Chains A and B, each alone.
Chain A
């Protein structure tokens, strides 16, 4: 029942600034137009702080770190 964190992007809000890729290249790549590609897998706890920083740095607040309970 430990919480699982996942990254999600709000594609409507995202304007392809690319900050998230700069700050979390381990988990976020960019497509050919500069929009982030996420794999949807749970976040490694070691990367959680980096993920939160990337979410906070997004100029349009399009990157979300979501917490869900493990089933």
Chain B
């Protein structure tokens, strides 16, 4: 069974696992519950739905009774992993920032909400911010209190004014509401960040919020040691903070009622490409990819492959679909992970080599152009794919081997993870699309090469 909730503007659906749960109710949606058909959920309705913030009413988790570290402990017991792509334990991050603030001369820590969402396919963070802004804001304020910060900076992509407006009116609502105990002591500022793939990379965001360019920096020091304006800085993804807001209210046991042992809870995924109803879905970790596709009324054509994680994710073969479950542990044997929650379906009608030529050229264009191996390597990778789809290419022989070599050459050779992501993408593509690559290396472009792209968001 799947629950679908079409949404006029952002197409949000809720996917639940197809088999009945052992422990009672399926319990989805969580993050997406109460999502309005248009506009943002007002503060009053948000509080009626989820209950007040624990501190303001002394119910459950309160600062007075359980202290500042209580949220960190609760998040740790919940086993929450970051949802920006890195899947780093959120409690460890919170603890590191709180620890750095105590032990160094770094000063009062700063909380940064990473709402850059530079991943072109991903729409989950902006869906939360636009439709349910109070959930991530709750999480940001709770995180600020947990690490002892008085300042929250929200980095929003400059090309998404609607997100900025939704956040600004949500903040105004909170100020007008007044009763919100946290609003008075913690200052929340919105900051536009450039529309660029690497701008959401942690060190790039911190660099930009410190007054520098939105480009990755050489680390260490890591942001938790020395971040925005030299202060210990917590950088968290929007969805991660939204989960924090629910964990603080309902506790770790509740959170762990869904998901797998290694990856508890639910997750937002952006389903895109050749599916009937692309959109943002809330899934339970460990639920099957097939069930997600069913919830979207299936693919529009036979599935050739699925790109998991994002544009720097990994391809999995369409024939593996029946076995694939959406958790990092279960995807690991296939070389994939959930990453930032992107599930992009490529149909058999598309030419994967032509799609990869477009995709790798775009990824090369998104290099910050700071590190040599990224600048030259990504261009070289894109060139190999382009040679395979050009009618009068100079040299197509040995393309597969050249791609393997280039992927290994750029892997972990930059200041940020951009080249690593491209290496992962290319390494998986060489495996999954071995037949198509060999065919193009022998005969050049195919009939499907000129078809319109199934990959969204590659316009520069």
Residues on A lying within 8 angstroms of B by beta carbon are 10-16, 31-35, 37
A11-B371 contact given A31-B409, A35-B413, CB 8 Å threshold: yes
- Asked if B370 is at the interface (CB within 8 A of a chain A CB), the reply is yes
Chain A to chain B contacts (Cβ below 8 Å), 27 pairs:
A10-B415, A11-B218, A11-B372, A11-B373, A11-B374, A11-B413, A12-B218, A12-B370, A12-B371, A13-B218, A14-B371, A14-B372, A16-B372, A31-B373, A31-B377, A31-B409, A31-B413, A32-B376, A32-B409, A33-B372, A33-B373, A33-B376, A34-B372, A35-B372, A35-B376, A35-B413, A37-B409
Q: Which residue of the partner chain B has the closest CB to A11?
A: B371
A11-B415 contact given A33-B372, A33-B373, CB 8 Å threshold: yes
How many residues does chain B have at the interface if contact means C-beta atoms less than 8 Å apart?
Answer: 14
- Asked if B414 is at the interface (CB within 8 A of a chain A CB), the reply is yes
Interchain nearest-CB distance for A26 vs B (Å): 20
User: Bound state CA distance, A32 and B371, in angstroms?
Assistant: 14
Q: When the two chains form their complex, are residues B376 and A11 in contact, meaning their CB atoms are under 8 A apart? A: no
Contact with A along B353-394 (1 / 0, CB 8 A): 000000000000000001111101100000000000000000
A35-B373 contact given A12-B217, A12-B218, CB 8 Å threshold: yes
- What are the residues of chain A within 8 A of B413 when measuring CB–CB? 11, 31, 35, 37
Interchain nearest-CB distance for A2 vs B (Å): 22
Interchain nearest-CB distance for A34 vs B (Å): 8
Q: When the two chains form their complex, are residues B373 and A10 in contact, meaning their CB atoms are under 8 A apart? A: no
Q: Which residue of the partner chain B has the closest CB to A64?
A: B218
User: Bound state CA distance, A16 and B414, in angstroms?
Assistant: 13
User: Bound state CA distance, A10 and B372, in angstroms?
Assistant: 11
Residues on B lying within 8 angstroms of A by beta carbon are 216-218, 370-374, 376-377, 409, 413-415
Q: Which residue of the partner chain B has the closest CB to A13?
A: B218
Interchain nearest-CB distance for B217 vs A (Å): 7
User: Bound state CA distance, A31 and B377, in angstroms?
Assistant: 10
Interchain nearest-CB distance for A62 vs B (Å): 9
- What are the residues of chain B within 8 A of A31 when measuring CB–CB? 373, 377, 409, 413
Interchain nearest-CB distance for B414 vs A (Å): 5
Interchain nearest-CB distance for A10 vs B (Å): 5
- What are the residues of chain A within 8 A of B217 when measuring CB–CB? 12
Interchain nearest-CB distance for B449 vs A (Å): 28
Q: Which residue of the partner chain A has the closest CB to B409?
A: A31
Interchain nearest-CB distance for B104 vs A (Å): 19
User: Bound state CA distance, A15 and B371, in angstroms?
Assistant: 8
Q: Kindly name the residue among A13, A15, A32, A34 whose own CB sees the greatest number of chain B CB atoms within 10 A.
A: A32
- What are the residues of chain A within 8 A of B377 when measuring CB–CB? 31, 33
User: Bound state CA distance, A69 and B411, in angstroms?
Assistant: 26
Interchain nearest-CB distance for B339 vs A (Å): 23
- What are the residues of chain B within 8 A of A13 when measuring CB–CB? 218
Interchain nearest-CB distance for B135 vs A (Å): 36
- What are the residues of chain B within 8 A of A11 when measuring CB–CB? 218, 370-374, 413-415
Q: Which residue of the partner chain B has the closest CB to A31?
A: B409
User: Bound state CA distance, A34 and B377, in angstroms?
Assistant: 12
Q: Which residue of the partner chain A has the closest CB to B374?
A: A11
Sort A-B residue pairs by CB-CB distance and give the 4 closest, nearest first.
A11-B371, A33-B376, A35-B372, A12-B370
- What are the residues of chain A within 8 A of B414 when measuring CB–CB? 11
Interchain nearest-CB distance for B377 vs A (Å): 8
Q: Which residue of the partner chain A has the closest CB to B406?
A: A32
A10-B409 contact given A16-B372, A33-B373, CB 8 Å threshold: no
Given contacts A12-B218, A32-B376, A37-B413, 20 further A-B contacts (CB under 8 A): A10-B218, A10-B415, A11-B218, A11-B371, A11-B372, A11-B373, A11-B374, A11-B413, A11-B414, A11-B415, A12-B217, A14-B372, A15-B372, A31-B373, A33-B376, A33-B377, A34-B372, A35-B376, A35-B413, A37-B409
Q: Which residue of the partner chain B has the closest CB to A38?
A: B413
Q: Which residue of the partner chain A has the closest CB to B412?
A: A40
User: Bound state CA distance, A14 and B217, in angstroms?
Assistant: 13
User: Bound state CA distance, A6 and B217, in angstroms?
Assistant: 20
Interchain nearest-CB distance for B27 vs A (Å): 41
Interchain nearest-CB distance for A40 vs B (Å): 9
